[in-house]
């Protein structure tokens, strides 16, 4: 898997995880931000994927060319 495929996968995962986590949290019975909620963890994992895709996009794609 090259860097561009990794970026595409991370971006797709970020969007899916952030949307799933937010919708699950918003429609559930969550009153506040809680690390015990699986939807919070899914949301944070999506944010981590987004940060990783930004890092790879900035620092690794330009080195490949």
> Per-residue confidence of the chain (65 residues) as pLDDT tens digits?
677 888 899 999 999 999 998 898 888 776 667 778 888 889 999 999 999 998 888 887 666 55
> In the structure encoding, which two tokens stand for residue 24, read together?
């699950």
Helix (H) or strand (E) holding 1: none
Q: What share of the chain is helix, strand, coil (3-state, %, to 5)?
A: 80, 0, 20
Instruction: Give the span between the Cα atoms of 38 and 23, in whole angstroms.
Output: 12
Long-range contacts of 60-65 (CB under 8 A, 24+ apart): 60/3, 61/3, 61/4, 61/7, 64/2, 64/3
């Amino acid at each position: 898997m090259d860097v561009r495929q990794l970026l595409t996968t991370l971006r797709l995962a970020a969007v899916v995880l952030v949307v799933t986590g937010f919708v699950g949290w918003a429609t559930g019975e969550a009153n506040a931000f809680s690390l015990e909620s699986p939807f919070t963890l899914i949301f944070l994992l999506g944010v981590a994927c987004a940060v990783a895709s930004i890092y790879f996009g900035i620092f690794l794609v330009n080195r490949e060319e």
